[in-house]
Structure 1
Amino acid sequence: MRTQLSRTRNIGVLAHVDAGKTTLTERFLYLTGATHKRGEVHDGTTVTDFDPQERDRGITIFAAAVSCDWDGHRINLIDTPGHVDFTDEVERALRVLDGAVAVFDAVAGVEPQSETVWRQADRHGVPRIAFVNKLDRAGADLDTAVASIRERLGTVPLVVQLPIGREDGFTGVVDLLRMRALVWGADEALAEGPVPEGLREEAARRRRLLDETVAELHAGALEEYCARGALGAATLAGALRDLTASGEGVVVLCGSAYRNRGIEPLLDAVTAYLPAPTGAADEPFAGLVFKVQSTATGRLTFLRVYAGTVRKGDVVLDAAAGRRERIARILRVQADRNTEADRAVAGDIVAVVGPRTARAGATLCDPGAPRLFEPPRSAAPVVSVAVEARRSLDTERLATALGRLVEEDPSLVVRSDRETGQTVLSGLGELHLEVATEQLRRVHGLEVTVGRPQVAYRETVLRGVTGFVYRHVKQDGGAGQFAQVVLDVEPLDGPDGTFAFASAVTGGRVPQEYVRAVEAGCRDALAEGPLGGHPVTGVRVTLTDGATHVKDSSELAFRTAARFALRDALRAAEPALLEPVAEVTVTAPDAYLGAVLGDLSSRRGRVTGTTARAGTTVLAATVPLAELFGYATRLRTRTQGRGTFTTRPAGYAPLNGG
């Protein structure tokens, strides 16, 4: 079991959209013999982008799991989406991975979503290696891309290769550990040989720089470097593995996935530097559900096994729900295909059939040894559309279909509008909702009418109030209710979505169990703000005093008092409306710069930076999300189809700059 674990790698491929993640995954599968034909994104023939919408749109939407074998190792790989609207798919995948390959475009370097997924991996403590892709493109430059990794990601790049040739003439790399040249011929066959004479001096310089950088970060390497003035290949490789695991540095390799150059050494790096999973077969079974998928043949529950063994026919416990489920089948998954297995052990990533209600984030475990893993968190939705069935007879079918969508994608939220009675679907962006509503049509066979997108507003307070007194008294013939609370309310600096509560009550004037009830009542009040019933954020509440009644005080009375007290205090604290904003990166030819700037200004955009790049300009701007609906069409029109843009959430800002 220990040997099996040591030769397993559970990794993800992370990147900005169009950096080449899916193409790289296809090359992994082809080179390892897992597939016999190379899939291409532009032909719609990839293994992992198997959903019709992914092939139509040419992007990854749903995280897909595949496996392959390389050099005696089993590599379980998840190809993740690169578009910001599907960040939640990345979040759920990262929760169950032991390592990742971060892919960067050799021309663009670190792009907005590259940074987003990197921070997600930081938060989950997932070790990474980097692959600078598309070195065959015009304008590609490894050093520039590496500089952006250093500056924008705040990490130490440990570059272990030197490109041979530039742009269209890129043919191979120098392996700086072994000081050997790896060259791919016209037939894509790999040939190994001595370093080309014209690159020997530069290769030696870069190897010295690599030795020095590693010695500065790694105590064992420093000892050898001080003794010998250089690092041996074995010491260097061991230090690179340690630095990858600790996150103190990131190993950087390069190549061209499309031309099949640089893939073999990258696979070697996956097995050499990324960690094996931890776990023990002799412990009770425990695993985390990270994805649920409805298929024509039934419901698939994707599971990372962290401990023990689960076998076909076992009864397991959904720990949070307290429900027992039977494992009817265990499947080894290869994107949309699978093979039957009798069991899964610690370190495995599999799909199981049988659990009927387990959702993403659920812990399945041995009923005799309950345990609970922390689930992946879902981002709060920022865009909503009204959805209704075109035929009234399909209303019930629509409700069922929406329930399945939410079950598969927890970042989608369905609610009923209290004023209009409409069904409202909320998600992380316009494209996210487009994909979801298209699923209703394609997968569930429903004709639906979709309203115009609306953003999700928030409310906050601009100034504080102190000593706000509220007394709750209720007497209706039975046991009464009495509670008095005194609150201070003030704006809270910090990340969006925050709320802080504290008690400054002295002398036991409010017992501790009632203090907890006050906090719960305040959280109740934050669900609907005074301006438009939007959730309230960025508020600090302090309970400073209160009063009780010997008979009529209770937790319910104090929770009720706190809810009404904060509701009224928010009105007195100068509430303000917040709108979601996005960081927008626009790339357009210089000739259209004026038109792009004018359009951004008309959308209340604020330009935060510009970068010139070979006849084009890259603009960074902050724009209210509500102003970005339909922006793709407008940008194409104003740049004759030559402009592109990407977005990522940038939190909330006062509406109209107030």
Structure 2
Amino acid sequence: MTIFKLLNSPLYVSKASNILKNGFNSNSRSMSNYSKFSEHKKLNLIRNIGISAHIDSGKTTLTERILFYTGRIESMHEVKGKDNVGATMDSMELERQRGITIQSAATYTMWKDHNINIIDTPGHVDFTVEVERALRVLDGAVLVLCAVGGVQSQSLTVNRQMKRYNVPCLAFINKLDRMGANPQRVLSQMRSKMNHNAAFIQLPIGVESNCKGIIDLVTQKAVIFEGSFGEELRYDEIPKEMRTESDEKRHELIEHLSNADEKLGELYLEEKPINEEDIKAAIRRTCLKRSFTPVLVGTALKNKGVQPLLDAVLDYLPNPGEVENFALREKDGEEPEKVSLNPARSPDNSFVALAFKLEAGKFGQLTYMRCYQGMLQKGDTIYNQRTQRKVRIARLVRLHSNNMEDVNEVYAGDIFALFGVDCASGDTFVTDPKSDLSLESIFVPDPVVSMAINPANSKDRDNFSKAIARFTKEDPTFHFFFDNDNKETIVSGMGELHLEIYAQRMEREYNCPVSLGKPKVAFRETLVSPCEFDYLHKKQSGGQGQYARVTGILEPLPPSKNTVLEFVDETVGTNVPKQYIPGIRKGYLAMAEKGLLAGQKLSGLKFRLTDGGHHIVDSSELAFFLAAQGAIKDVFEKGVWQILEPIMSVEVTAPDEFQGSVIAQLNKRHGIVTGSEGTEGWFTVYAEVPLNEMFGYAGELRSSTQGKGEFTMEYSRYIPCLPEVQDKLIQEYQKQMGVLPEKDKKKRKN
């Protein structure tokens, strides 16, 4: 039985053990030494990976352990830790206070002479765009699953995102030390819920408080983690009581691999001996094709299983040269041509990179990029393919959370950042503008929650506008607009937490407290049936008076046109001189801005001017403007009015077991189901629901579907609202205007 100290980093090989002994600190001189070792690796010695999972599965803790074992940081800190330091990758103060990841953070580290670029992503569905843009530029991923929670809602969302970008992944079942940990149940959920061809390549030696180490099924060795922080590995024989189980699981692993890999399948069918190298090669081939998912186990918090996971990243996930990336070349009037990019680290290839994340830093806008082809040096000029603007590169940096390290050049496969580049997320940058190459942009989901927002103090408007400008540029799922109908500023995002975080960031980072509230719905008022009018506006007060008479019909338009206003001049003769017609039209449109029933805009009306009268001296455009307004007021008193409300086309997607509750929720919100369809255990319901009933639906849907349901909605049309909704709106408007309803007047008299 041999005990040896784990070589945490290739720096040991370089006789730089004193660096590791002292540890790494972003401010220490040793950081620059580390940077030298990590630059300019061969393509096969680079891995770009993301760590993705459901909320609280241990992504950030796992990343913290990876950075410690690879010698990147000198001490480990916990998420929302008692020492008030917090995890390295949670650099934002809000992240440390709440104990959640809000922004994806990038770093790079070294393990066994390989350069690993890591992006730690958020788990909350509200920050799903952070996962989306990370997976767009990564070559592989580690899917972290909780040994107790198993496959949860965001695990399924992340799985769909990996499928969208064809990202190979390893699964790591974390938190074996928790009460109720059951890795076998998690594996069966991966197979049933995620449709993964998955099998263990490791087994835990005990779970919960008895978790001592792991069994590697490929090498058939037990790995025990010793030392203060699990940094010493002891390789041993498999415990006697687990030999039967490990043999069964190894056989199961070979069976699953044989179904996905022809070479191993032939050996298995011919009953030839299968050795360690055969299994490793088969896992790598099938993992790259996404036809098999190797499952590893451990507990990051208790420092077990992290180093073997790093080995698996090197052994089974692709290097940038093994992933085929394409650019599109636009051609006039034709389908874009697909061009395969050359990942070879050679200056002969023209530079092509994608900007996937923007961040406002103390030195200006920081643009995160992934280089797909060629190389870029400090001082080079690059072109934005969308805007055709050119930028000279004054500074190139590589990132370690919120710390930056300068580099002189970057090559294909590198993730880096630039300063002072004015661009949008998803822009393509090249050194040869004539190449006409552009990379496929990032999928951005539509916002689902909207709220009214206002600065608490009017004097903070400048800071408010700066914050909004920055956040909308950084986050493509955060939208801001001014609603002319209700005179409100509205922000939209992926959830209430999403908007709440931005409100807190405005207060902390811009000293601009804001108030969030439910936005108003843009109702409309219209007539039920045509109503005639004949209105005379006459005013004499000495000097030139005012005289104008308008006669005609105000009638409702058909439902297909109930959002427009029409004006028709049907007059014959000179009773209403033509130069006054624009004044009548303006008066009608001005009056339509605010109805007298509930203070909403008028729509779906046709103003037919049939006759009128004028005075040769006292008539003017202003007089006819006021006459048109008086005519509309008359119609308000004589006509029968109704309120229209906006109806949204809603599309809800969730697992099949929640179909009944989703349809019940839509019915409760006065929705009408118009259709449904289902594929692979998921269903999609199409419905039409009043916008006024959709507030709070995002939270209700997530809670009733265990967070797995998603929905999108878009405006469909206006229809008359229910009588109780109309009565409520009228009462609220009357209270606002200080007008008492009839029943309240009687009470006051009594």
Same fold (TM over 0.5): yes
2-side partners of 1:275 and 1:646: how far apart?
31
Unaligned stretches of 5+ in structure 1? 458-467, 469-531, 534-574, 587-595, 607-619, 636-642
2-side partners of 1:450 and 1:309: how far apart?
46
Pair 1:195-2:256 in alignment:
no
Q: Please report how far the alpha carbon of residue 576 of structure 1 lies from its aligned counterpart in structure 2 after TM superposition.
A: 5.2
> What is the correspondence of 1:21-36 to structure 2 with a 5 Å cutoff?
21-36=59-74
> What is the correspondence of 1:93-104 to structure 2 with a 5 Å cutoff?
93-104=134-145
2-side partners of 1:42 and 1:648: how far apart?
29
| Contact 1:430–1:453 (8 Å) recurs in 2 | no
Match for residue 364 of structure 1 among 392, 405, 429: 429
1-side partners of 2:467 and 2:69: how far apart?
39
For residues 157-178 of structure 1, give each alpha carbon's deviation from its aligned partner in whole angstroms, at most 9, with x where no partner exists.
0210111112210111110111
2-side partners of 1:454 and 1:262: how far apart?
52
- Corresponding residue for residue 401 of structure 1: 467
1-side partners of 2:486 and 2:381: how far apart?
45
2-side partners of 1:412 and 1:394: how far apart?
21
| Contact 2:139–2:320 (8 Å) recurs in 1 | yes
Aligned partner of residue 198 in structure 1, secondary structure: helix
Match for residue 251 of structure 1 among 291, 294, 313: 294
Moved more, 246-255 or 422-431: 422-431
Q: Please report how far the alpha carbon of residue 626 of structure 1 lies from its aligned counterpart in structure 2 after TM superposition.
A: 2.8
| Contact 1:84–1:648 (8 Å) recurs in 2 | no
Letter in 2 for 1:273: Y
2-side partners of 1:585 and 1:438: how far apart?
37
1:600–1:42: structure 2 CA closer, same or farther, 3 Å change rule? Answer: farther
- Corresponding residue for residue 209 of structure 1: 252
Match for residue 392 of structure 1 among 449, 458, 466: 458
Pair 1:241-2:284 in alignment:
yes
For residues 341-385 of structure 1, give each alpha carbon's deviation from its aligned partner in whole angstroms, at most 9, with x where no partner exists.
111111100111131x21110111113434210110211111112
- Corresponding residue for residue 223 of structure 1: 266
Q: Please report how far the alpha carbon of residue 391 of structure 1 lies from its aligned counterpart in structure 2 after TM superposition.
A: 3.4
- Corresponding residue for residue 92 of structure 1: 133
- Corresponding residue for residue 710 of structure 2: 649
Larger Rg over CA atoms: 2
1:390–1:3: structure 2 CA closer, same or farther, 3 Å change rule? Answer: closer
- Corresponding residue for residue 316 of structure 1: 382
| Contact 2:48–2:139 (8 Å) recurs in 1 | yes
For residues 406-439 of structure 1, give each alpha carbon's deviation from its aligned partner in whole angstroms, at most 9, with x where no partner exists.
1110111111101133221111110111111222
| Contact 1:384–1:454 (8 Å) recurs in 2 | no
| Contact 1:211–1:230 (8 Å) recurs in 2 | no
1:35–1:347: structure 2 CA closer, same or farther, 3 Å change rule? Answer: same
Aligned partner of residue 235 in structure 2, secondary structure: strand
| Contact 2:503–2:513 (8 Å) recurs in 1 | no
| Contact 1:456–1:579 (8 Å) recurs in 2 | no
- Count of aligned positions: 512
1:41–1:340: structure 2 CA closer, same or farther, 3 Å change rule? Answer: same
Aligned partner of residue 358 in structure 1, secondary structure: coil
Q: Please report how far the alpha carbon of residue 581 of structure 1 lies from its aligned counterpart in structure 2 after TM superposition.
A: 5.5
2-side partners of 1:454 and 1:23: how far apart?
42
Q: Please report how far the alpha carbon of residue 631 of structure 1 lies from its aligned counterpart in structure 2 after TM superposition.
A: 7.2
- Corresponding residue for residue 193 of structure 2: 152
Aligned partner of residue 95 in structure 2, secondary structure: helix
| Contact 1:30–1:37 (8 Å) recurs in 2 | yes
- Corresponding residue for residue 412 of structure 1: 478
- Corresponding residue for residue 566 of structure 1: none
For residues 247-282 of structure 1, give each alpha carbon's deviation from its aligned partner in whole angstroms, at most 9, with x where no partner exists.
101010000011010001100000000000131222
Letter in 1 for 2:378: K
- Corresponding residue for residue 346 of structure 1: 412
> What is the correspondence of 1:121-132 to structure 2 with a 5 Å cutoff?
121-132=162-173
1:57–1:621: structure 2 CA closer, same or farther, 3 Å change rule? Answer: farther
| Contact 1:384–1:455 (8 Å) recurs in 2 | no
- Corresponding residue for residue 565 of structure 1: none
For residues 320-341 of structure 1, give each alpha carbon's deviation from its aligned partner in whole angstroms, at most 9, with x where no partner exists.
1111112121111000001111
For residues 263-310 of structure 1, give each alpha carbon's deviation from its aligned partner in whole angstroms, at most 9, with x where no partner exists.
011000000000001312221111000100001222100000111111
For residues 538-580 of structure 1, give each alpha carbon's deviation from its aligned partner in whole angstroms, at most 9, with x where no partner exists.
xxxxxxxxxxxxxxxxxxxxxxxxxxxxxxxxxxxxx953357
1-side partners of 2:177 and 2:220: how far apart?
22
2-side partners of 1:652 and 1:441: how far apart?
30
2-side partners of 1:455 and 1:20: how far apart?
41
Q: Please report how far the alpha carbon of residue 230 of structure 1 lies from its aligned counterpart in structure 2 after TM superposition.
A: 4.0
Aligned partner of residue 145 in structure 2, secondary structure: strand
| Contact 2:384–2:427 (8 Å) recurs in 1 | yes
Letter in 1 for 2:187: V
Q: Please report how far the alpha carbon of residue 645 of structure 1 lies from its aligned counterpart in structure 2 after TM superposition.
A: 6.2
1:84–1:582: structure 2 CA closer, same or farther, 3 Å change rule? Answer: farther
2-side partners of 1:652 and 1:364: how far apart?
34
2-side partners of 1:605 and 1:25: how far apart?
46
TM-score normalised by L of structure 2? 0.63
For residues 502-522 of structure 1, give each alpha carbon's deviation from its aligned partner in whole angstroms, at most 9, with x where no partner exists.
xxxxxxxxxxxxxxxxxxxxx
Letter in 1 for 2:182: D
2-side partners of 1:577 and 1:630: how far apart?
18
2-side partners of 1:456 and 1:650: how far apart?
21
Match for residue 13 of structure 1 among 31, 51, 57: 51
TM-score normalised by L of structure 1? 0.72
- Corresponding residue for residue 78 of structure 2: 40
Aligned partner of residue 154 in structure 1, secondary structure: coil
1:351–1:605: structure 2 CA closer, same or farther, 3 Å change rule? Answer: farther
For residues 594-648 of structure 1, give each alpha carbon's deviation from its aligned partner in whole angstroms, at most 9, with x where no partner exists.
xx99x99998799xxxxxxxxxxxxx9999863458879xx9xxxxxxx996464
| Contact 1:455–1:626 (8 Å) recurs in 2 | no
Match for residue 99 of structure 2 among 58, 61, 64: 58
Letter in 2 for 1:128: C
1:629–1:123: structure 2 CA closer, same or farther, 3 Å change rule? Answer: closer
| Contact 1:316–1:365 (8 Å) recurs in 2 | yes
> What is the correspondence of 1:542-621 to structure 2 with a 5 Å cutoff?
577-579=648-650
Moved more, 193-202 or 41-50: 41-50
1:605–1:338: structure 2 CA closer, same or farther, 3 Å change rule? Answer: farther
| Contact 1:176–1:203 (8 Å) recurs in 2 | yes
Q: Please report how far the alpha carbon of residue 311 of structure 1 lies from its aligned counterpart in structure 2 after TM superposition.
A: 1.2
Letter in 2 for 1:362: D
Aligned partner of residue 437 in structure 2, secondary structure: coil
- Corresponding residue for residue 304 of structure 2: 261
Match for residue 171 of structure 1 among 207, 212, 226: 212
Aligned partner of residue 695 in structure 2, secondary structure: helix
2-side partners of 1:127 and 1:454: how far apart?
45
Moved more, 242-251 or 380-389: 380-389
- Corresponding residue for residue 559 of structure 1: none
| Contact 2:198–2:256 (8 Å) recurs in 1 | no
1:213–1:235: structure 2 CA closer, same or farther, 3 Å change rule? Answer: same
1-side partners of 2:476 and 2:137: how far apart?
16
Letter in 1 for 2:274: L
Pair 1:330-2:374 in alignment:
no
Match for residue 118 of structure 1 among 152, 159, 165: 159
2-side partners of 1:628 and 1:59: how far apart?
24
RMSD: 3.6
1:147–1:333: structure 2 CA closer, same or farther, 3 Å change rule? Answer: same
- Corresponding residue for residue 297 of structure 1: 363
Letter in 2 for 1:121: M
| Contact 1:16–1:82 (8 Å) recurs in 2 | yes
- Corresponding residue for residue 318 of structure 2: 275
Aligned partner of residue 320 in structure 2, secondary structure: coil
| Contact 1:101–1:130 (8 Å) recurs in 2 | yes
